[in-house]
């Protein structure tokens, strides 16, 4: 859930709990605090607090707003066996009271000062998002500090949040997209933390206790696995004090469960999860190069041409525009700490799923053999370099982008060198990397629905009509 949507939901929930007839005033206050402003000149400072906590800072004093993003390495890959969904559970608990402030009072105080705070989890990290108006900085920082250091995990809040999570799981089990994604990861990463359901199951979430939450917080919230970015109306000196106040009392070192490197199985596989729906959903993917691999940027460009470029992408043209088989089809590169994948999805009527997947395989094969055309490569580079600035047009976007770079091990200079690396991709690079990346015989495919004429198989059949589809260029 996004920061604002979660904040809005909290405002509505608090209003209902307090018997307020309309939540509009609370929502208006939260929206006012959520408005960001682009930094005029993005001077990225690397700072270290008096206590030794490192952060990146972009000062922007024209608007009295501070955006802070932080992450702890760990994420839901740290869920113990049998406790899948623990990381997700804790992200929903971090604003349910802290220190000596109980849940309702804590969230009322957040609303009173128009403070935004949310948490989220991924396979490798736990994320925190915090925004405050400058005039309320001290009060907001105190609430953030209590959340980071002393979440209460009161039993009544645990029980209430558990019921919400179980309701979400019951809903997700009826959503073909969510089921397809969950089952794809289980198929691609068997016997690995990446293959376990990130949000857990009804069985595992029901077993999570308050002690589990306390233990997870103790193991993962530490200074050595912390990364912080701040953008807004604050100086380096003042930020140093805030960093020590909020994070300085955390344990020096995290106690993380080791996670091994992995990759999807070679040779391809296909799984069908039957669901009585008129339209099937497929998730498909292969292993990809790591983020720091010299070929990653070329792979990023190739993916844009294949399925990441919206209506300009080959898959969209062939599956939707020429044949009208699907409303949307797409792919993206997803590097994790311990694996990297190229993954995509398509949804189409049950009778058309086999044809759609055949076209996708055919386009992958064609690009792997021939590479993209010079015109397609140039168009992709023009778009990717020209649109890059849009990732930095608000303070919150800047903070999120820079946090991602920190997590991937890049320095602030990446912002200045990234477009040059994309422009340096040659047709020969793109063809070589397409052959390395696009291996349709290795596709791991999960289909949810009742696709006609398809069966689960370790090696799916080659669909000849797709391979005969004529391509451009």
Q: What is the per-residue DSSP string for 20-59?
A: -S--HHHHHHHHHHH-----SS--EEEEE-TTS-EEEEEE
Give the CA distances from residue 221 to residues 90, 94, 211, 337, in Å, rounded to whole numbers and listed in that order.
11, 12, 15, 18
Neighbours of 291 (CB within 10 A): 18
Q: Which residues contact 285 (CB under 8 A, 6 or more apart)?
A: 184, 188, 264, 331, 341, 342, 343, 344, 443, 444
Retrieve residue 58's tokens. Answer: 């972009």
The closest of 57, 59, 58, 36 to 47, measured between CA atoms, is 57
Q: Residue 293: CA atoms inside 13 Å, Cβ hemisphere, count? A: 20
What is the pTM for the complete model shown?
0.87
Angle 301-304-307 from CA coordinates, rounded to 5° = 145
Hey, what CATH class is 269-467 in? alpha beta
Mapped onto helix, strand or coil, the DSSP state of residue 67 is: strand
pLDDT at residue number 47 = 97
For the domain covering 3-247, report its CATH number.
Answer: 3.30.830.10
pLDDT per residue rounded down to tens, the chain (473 residues): 333 333 333 433 333 333 333 333 333 333 333 344 443 458 999 999 999 999 999 999 999 999 999 999 999 999 999 999 999 999 999 999 999 999 999 999 999 999 999 999 999 999 999 999 999 999 999 999 999 999 999 999 999 999 999 999 999 999 999 999 999 999 999 999 999 999 999 999 999 999 999 999 999 999 999 999 999 999 999 999 999 999 999 999 999 999 999 999 999 999 999 999 999 999 999 999 999 999 999 999 999 999 999 999 999 999 999 999 999 999 999 999 999 999 999 999 999 999 999 999 999 999 999 999 999 999 999 999 999 999 999 999 999 999 999 999 999 999 999 999 999 999 999 999 999 999 999 999 999 999 998 976 543 433 333 322 222 22
Q: Do domains 3-247 and 269-467 have the same CATH topology?
A: yes
Nearest-angstrom CA–CA distance, 316 and 324 = 10
Alpha-carbon dihedral of residues 165, 166, 171, 172, nearest 10 degrees? 70
pLDDT at residue number 461 = 37
Q: Tell me how many helices (H) and strands (E) the chain has.
A: 18, 11
pLDDT at residue number 455 = 77
Terminus-to-terminus CA distance in the chain, angstroms? 41
Domain boundaries, the chain: 3-247, 269-467
pLDDT at residue number 33 = 36
By CB atoms closer than 10 A (0-12, 13-18, 19+), residue 310 is exposed
pLDDT at residue number 7 = 38
Alpha helices in 285-352 (DSSP H): 296-303, 314-315
């Amino acid at each position: 859930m996004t920061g604002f949507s979660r904040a809005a939901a909290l405002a509505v929930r608090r209003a209902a709990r307090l018997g307020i007839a309309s939540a509009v005033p609370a929502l208006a206050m939260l929206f006012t605090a959520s408005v960001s402003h682009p930094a005029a000149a993005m001077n990225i400072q690397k700072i270290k607090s008096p206590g030794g906590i490192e952060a990146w800072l972009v000062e922007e004093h024209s608007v009295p707003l501070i955006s802070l993003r932080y992450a702890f390495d760990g994420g839901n890959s740290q869920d113990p066996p049998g406790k899948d969904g623990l990381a997700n559970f804790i992200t929903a608990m971090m604003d349910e009271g802290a220190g000596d402030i109980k849940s309702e009072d804590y969230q009322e105080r957040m609303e009173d000062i128009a403070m935004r705070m949310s948490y989220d989890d991924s396979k490798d990290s736990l994320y925190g998002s915090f925004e405050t108006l400058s005039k309320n900085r001290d009060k907001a920082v105190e609430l953030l500090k209590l959340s980071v250091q002393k979440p209460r995990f009161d039993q009544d809040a645990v029980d209430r949040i558990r019921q919400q999570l179980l309701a979400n799981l019951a809903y997700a089990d009826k959503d073909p997209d969510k089921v397809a994604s969950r089952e794809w990861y289980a198929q691609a990463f068997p016997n690995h933390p990446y293959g376990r359901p990130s949000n857990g199951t009804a069985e595992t979430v029901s077993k999570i206790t308050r002690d589990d939450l306390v233990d997870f917080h103790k193991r993962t919230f530490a200074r050595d696995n912390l990364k912080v970015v701040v953008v807004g109306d604050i100086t380096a000196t003042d930020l140093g004090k805030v960093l020590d106040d909020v994070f300085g009392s955390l344990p020096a070192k995290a106690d993380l469960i080791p996670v091994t490197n992995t990759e999807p199985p070679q040779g391809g596989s296909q799984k069908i999860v039957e669901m009585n729906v008129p339209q099937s959903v497929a998730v498909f993917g292969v292993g990809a190069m790591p983020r720091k691999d010299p070929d990653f940027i070329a792979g990023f460009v190739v993916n844009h041409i294949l399925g990441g470029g919206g209506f300009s992408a080959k898959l969209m043209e062939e599956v939707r525009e020429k044949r009208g088989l699907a409303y949307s089809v797409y792919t993206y590169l997803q590097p994790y700490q311990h694996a990297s994948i190229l993954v995509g999805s398509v949804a189409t009527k049950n009778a058309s799923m086999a044809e759609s997947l055949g076209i996708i395989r055919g386009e992958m094969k064609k690009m792997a053999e021939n590479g993209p055309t010079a015109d397609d490569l140039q168009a992709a580079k023009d778009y990717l370099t020209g649109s890059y600035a849009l990732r930095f047009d608000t303070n919150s976007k800047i903070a999120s982008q820079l946090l991602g770079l920190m997590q991937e091990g890049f320095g602030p200079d990446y912002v200045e060198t990234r477009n040059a690396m994309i422009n340096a991709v040659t047709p020969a690079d793109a063809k070589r990397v397409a052959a390395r990346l696009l291996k349709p015989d290795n596709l791991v495919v999960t289909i949810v629905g009742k696709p006609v004429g398809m069966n689960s198989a370790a090696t799916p059949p080659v669909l000849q009509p797709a391979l005969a589809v004529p391509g451009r260029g």
